[in-house]
Amino acid sequence: MNDRLVSVAVPVPALGLLTYRVPPEWPMPVPGARVVVPLGPRKLTGVAVGQVRAADVSFTLKNIVQVLDDAAFVPADVIQLTQWVSDYYLAGPGAALSAALPPYGLSHRVDRFKTVRVVSLTPAGLDTAERLATHPRCAGDDGQADGPTLGSKQKQALQLLKAVPDGMSVPDLAERGIAAATVTRLHGLGYVAIGHARIDRDPFEHAVGAHLPAALPLRALTTEQLAALEHLTPLAAAGAFHVALVHGVTGSGKTEVYLRLADAVRRRGRGVLMLVPEIALTPQVAALFRARFGAAVAIQHSGLSDGERHDQWHRIRRGEVDVVIGTRSAVFAPLANPGLIIVDEEHDSSYKQDETPRYHGRDVAIMRGKFTGALVVIGSATPTLESYANALSGRYSLVTLNRRVLDRPMAEVQVVNMREEIAAAGTEVVLSRALRQAIAARLDEGQQSLILLNRRGFANSVLCRQCGASLECPNCSVTLTVHTNHDRSSRGSEPAGWRGRCHYCNFTRLVPKVCEKCAAPYMERIGFGTERVEAEVRAAFPAARVARVDRDTVRRKGSLVAMLEQVARREIDVLIGTQMIAKGHDFPECTLVGVISADVGLGLADFRSAERTFQLLTQVAGRAGRGERPGQAIIQSLVPEHYSVRLACDQDYRAFYEKEVAFRRAMRYPPQVAMVNVVVRGRTFNQAIDGAHELADAARGGHGFVVVGPAPAPLTKLRGEHRAQFFLKGTSRKAMREALQLALSRTPALSKRLSVDVDPLTML
């Protein structure tokens, strides 16, 4: 009795595991079961993590209120994984566990399945239907036959149900002209029974690639693909943890290698988990896997409705699928016995969560593989420096694919020096002469073009030419980005005005006609974004079918998928967008890629800026020429001599790696050392910087790391809060985490206005 204690994770940030007593009327919850527990004045649903010995507890305990599950709702290996996430990323165990749960997972209702009424014949109804089949006038309208009089719709319903022994849903009957009133009448006569059936909401119904045939023929493998499989297949068959990096140029056929490897693993009775960086890629990849493996494929990503995510998660948990495709949160999917975990485009920053718990999907995938004895395959044409360094050191196997499928050539790359274009056409130039000519040539030939600018909006900012004042966000330390403000009542394409928007807090306001500081009527739009590029392309090529993809155009669910389908159907001639169009998409009819302002990210105060620029340019150039026709990439840059631009044009990853890693060693940045970014928030800047000093001083003095700062954060004010930051840099992540945990125990008041990012991808 005294040992009926359980440790529970509750969904409260920064709160550790809580211990509760299990009263005798409730069974002892197994690890992974959901329980309802009191927390202050509230009752919360948490997850039991394990039993606690009474000897380890010296304080009064509260009783749990209810046990919701007889068996584990969250599998044991997922519990283990979330505990690792909690420890490694310094996040509360409840916050880490919440990332692994489906929508409604902590609801007091055990499930949120969708049900539909199903109508089936009773024995009396079946007897009547059979008599109607042989004697149509039986039970007829004239009242001459035995039994009650039935109308024509009631007879039709009985005949329909006779052909479907398991019954038909009410909506299906309605589609055949059988109204609900008819069903109700038959039910009252005792001819039909009405039950309920669960139906899974289908996320594949409108997916990109849903048009693929049920079974695709196997493609002939290249020599390099065969060599890759000869190396990877035995590793998967060994049933032991191993990590392999597949470094393959764009278009080299990495996906086919993944499919063949997945097939081999499934045949051995183990599951396959594949992560992709973007929501838009999930249904595309899932469609390929479905075409190969049938319905035993589930998807998990935030772009699904809550109901779809709920149903897919439970399909996985019930063991109905053995392949799961998804974005970073899918790493926690309750897939039984995973033997292969794939992280495609492993370099992509989308794998990093930007709120607690700030985990990296690739690194968590590697740990899940370690816990389950799986082969983890991470793939990219532009691997992160950390992953490539691990491969060169022997921690990971390295598999290289240097040639495209069918020996298709890489895109021919041309760099345009925009300093020369500005000298010839003025500072307002957006499309270089070379890019205009190339777009025109593709339009004449009926081919598609892809134009990338990794900055949305019409203009970067608004500046008063008289006093220099800019339009700033009142909540964040940024200027407002200018967007067109189209009058919804107008049929024209000209904007009725301009609206400034903060891309951090979404504050918006109309751009004033005159400066609010000096009253001068000289408000000038500075720089440009994707809206401006779209306007330039439409003006230059009025007959072209032009579309734009950025966060402003794809807010509505399914809009990005619909637009990509239009591209696949060749209903769009020129697609303009941000980096989301550069990630893994396969556009066979796209033969031209143009990059506007290739160096837009090089000016950021971030040591990864050159790496991101190289990755983006290499990836987007790889979208051209993936079909039968050769491709061309035109890259516009103000600094074409920068090594990240020059080596991306050469598609020379190894040369870039050597150049960049030398810089990182000299400056002691990852992968040379590990880093932790700590941001302290406050109502005033003094409150933020004082808190940062207090915490940083408490963390100093440990071995294996140094504390750098504090200093004002690059975004000194964000969403109304002031921010200061400091970094821990060193060779021991464990020592840094322990030092921070000790410092936080000495300064508990700071925990609620603190963000800790282990292995940060950005310094902002």
6-15, 196-205, 402-411, 658-667, range with greatest mean pLDDT = 658-667
* pLDDT value of residue 526: 65
Residue in 405, 410, 429 with CA at minimum distance from that of residue 419 = 429
| DSSP class per residue in 96-116 | HHHTTSPTTTTSSSS---EEE
Identify the band that residue 584 occupies on the pLDDT scale cut at 50, 70 and 90.
low
* pLDDT value of residue 143: 41
Strands (E) in 10-113, as ranges, are 18-21, 34-39, 42-52, 66-67
CATH 3.40.1440.60 domain span(s) along the chain: 5-98
**Does the structure show a pLDDT above 90 at 294?**
no
Residue in 701, 724, 720 with CA at minimum distance from that of residue 712 = 724
Q: Is 320 left (phi over 0), alpha (psi -120 to 50) or beta?
A: alpha
* pLDDT value of residue 553: 66
* pLDDT value of residue 197: 75
Calculate mean pLDDT across residues 574-583. 77
CA pair distance 385, 657, nearest whole angstrom: 7
**Does the structure show a pLDDT above 70 at 56?**
no
CA pair distance 362, 484, nearest whole angstrom: 38
| Helix (H) or strand (E) run with residue 82 in it | helix 76-88
In degrees and rounded to multiples of 5, residue 635 shows phi and psi of -115, 120
- The three-point CA angle 141-123-132 to 5° equals 30
CA pair distance 340, 242, nearest whole angstrom: 10
Q: What burial class does residue 441 get, using C-beta atoms within 10 Å of its C-beta: 0-12 exposed, 13-18 middle, 19+ buried?
A: middle
Q: pTM of the entire structure?
A: 0.83
Strands (E) in 418-515, as ranges, are 448-452, 461-464, 481-484, 498-501, 508-510
Fold of 409-456+529-667: Rossmann fold (3.40.50)
Query: Which residues pair with residue 548 across a beta bridge?
Result: 576
* pLDDT value of residue 361: 96
Q: For 551-561, what is each residue's pLDDT tens digit?
A: 766 666 666 77
- The three-point CA angle 6-8-12 to 5° equals 160
Assigned token pair, 167: 């019954």
What are the distances in angstroms from CA 284 to CA 210, 243, 255, 276, 287?
Answer: 8, 25, 11, 10, 5
Sign of CA dihedral 562, 568, 573, 578: positive
Identify the band that residue 683 occupies on the pLDDT scale cut at 50, 70 and 90.
very high
**Do residues 636 and 598 lie in contact, with contact meaning Cβ atoms separated by under 8 Å?**
yes
* pLDDT value of residue 590: 83
Q: What is the DSSP letter of 581?
A: G
* More confident call, 454 vs 585: 454
* pLDDT value of residue 323: 94
Calculate mean pLDDT across residues 101-127. 78
* pLDDT value of residue 257: 94
Max CA pair span of the chain? 100
Identify the band that residue 426 occupies on the pLDDT scale cut at 50, 70 and 90.
confident
CA pair distance 62, 66, nearest whole angstrom: 12
Average pLDDT, the chain: 85
**Do residues 153 and 178 lie in contact, with contact meaning Cβ atoms separated by under 8 Å?**
yes
**Does the structure show a pLDDT above 90 at 617?**
no
Which residues touch 706 (CB under 8 Å, ≥6 apart)? 728, 729, 730
Q: What burial class does residue 488 get, using C-beta atoms within 10 Å of its C-beta: 0-12 exposed, 13-18 middle, 19+ buried?
A: exposed
* pLDDT value of residue 722: 93
b/e for 286-304, b at 16 or more Cβ within 10 A? Answer: bbbbbbbbeeebbbbbebb
* More confident call, 360 vs 354: 360
Calculate mean pLDDT across residues 658-682. 93
* pLDDT value of residue 493: 43
Calculate mean pLDDT across residues 599-606. 74
First to last CA, the chain: 52
* pLDDT value of residue 142: 43
What are the distances in angstroms from CA 186 to CA 123, 163, 249, 464, 723?
Answer: 13, 17, 65, 76, 68
The CA dihedral of 453, 457, 459, 462, to the nearest 10 degrees, is -150
Calculate mean pLDDT across residues 457-479. 74
**Does the structure show a pLDDT above 90 at 314?**
no
Total H helices, total E strands in the chain:
21, 30
High-pLDDT (> 70) share of the chain, %: 87
In three-state secondary structure terms, 649 is helix
Residue in 383, 338, 359 with CA at minimum distance from that of residue 657 = 383
Calculate mean pLDDT across residues 135-143. 57
Token look-up 């000869």 returns 230
**Does the structure show a pLDDT above 80 at 134?**
no
* pLDDT value of residue 490: 36
Q: One-letter amino acid identity for 656?
A: F
| Helix (H) or strand (E) run with residue 583 in it | none
CATH 3.40.50.300 domain span(s) along the chain: 223-407, 409-456+529-667
**Do residues 593 and 452 lie in contact, with contact meaning Cβ atoms separated by under 8 Å?**
yes
Lowest pLDDT segment from 229-243, 558-572, 712-726: 558-572
Q: For 474-493, what is each residue's pLDDT tens digit?
A: 888 777 887 776 544 333 34
* pLDDT value of residue 456: 56
Calculate mean pLDDT across residues 14-31. 89
* More confident call, 548 vs 454: 548
* pLDDT value of residue 494: 42
Calculate mean pLDDT across residues 38-57. 84
Residue in 277, 249, 245 with CA at minimum distance from that of residue 618 = 249
Going by their DSSP bridges, the two strands 590-595 and 632-637 should be labelled as parallel
Identify the band that residue 259 occupies on the pLDDT scale cut at 50, 70 and 90.
very high
Calculate mean pLDDT across residues 237-263. 92
In three-state secondary structure terms, 536 is helix
Domain 223-407 is found in CATH 3.30.300.170: no
* pLDDT value of residue 363: 97
* pLDDT value of residue 144: 44
Which residues touch 759 (CB under 8 Å, ≥6 apart)? 360, 363, 670, 674, 675, 676, 733
CATH 3.30.70.600 domain span(s) along the chain: 674-758
Going by their DSSP bridges, the two strands 721-730 and 674-682 should be labelled as antiparallel
| Superfamily (CATH) of domain 5-98 | PriA, 3(prime) DNA-binding domain (3.40.1440.60)
Calculate mean pLDDT across residues 650-661. 93
**Do residues 372 and 338 lie in contact, with contact meaning Cβ atoms separated by under 8 Å?**
yes
Assigned token pair, 275: 């992560």
Whats the size of the chain, residue-wise? 764
Identify the band that residue 682 occupies on the pLDDT scale cut at 50, 70 and 90.
very high
**Does the structure show a pLDDT above 90 at 14?**
no
**Do residues 716 and 689 lie in contact, with contact meaning Cβ atoms separated by under 8 Å?**
no
**Does the structure show a pLDDT above 90 at 385?**
yes
**Do residues 689 and 713 lie in contact, with contact meaning Cβ atoms separated by under 8 Å?**
no
* pLDDT value of residue 647: 92
* pLDDT value of residue 1: 46
**Do residues 271 and 323 lie in contact, with contact meaning Cβ atoms separated by under 8 Å?**
yes
What are the distances in angstroms from CA 51 to CA 2, 13, 56, 177?
Answer: 12, 22, 11, 58
Assigned token pair, 110: 């055990």
* pLDDT value of residue 7: 92
What are the distances in angstroms from CA 593 to CA 5, 441, 642?
Answer: 62, 13, 20
**Does the structure show a pLDDT above 70 at 105?**
yes
Which residues touch 156 (CB under 8 Å, ≥6 apart)? 176, 177, 178
* pLDDT value of residue 274: 95
Fold of 674-758: Alpha-Beta Plaits (3.30.70)
Identify the band that residue 263 occupies on the pLDDT scale cut at 50, 70 and 90.
very high
In degrees and rounded to multiples of 5, residue 271 shows phi and psi of -90, 165
Assigned token pair, 442: 């593709």
| DSSP class per residue in 154-208 | HHHHHHHHHT-TT-EEHHHHHHTT--HHHHHHHHHTTSEEEEEEEE---TTTT-T
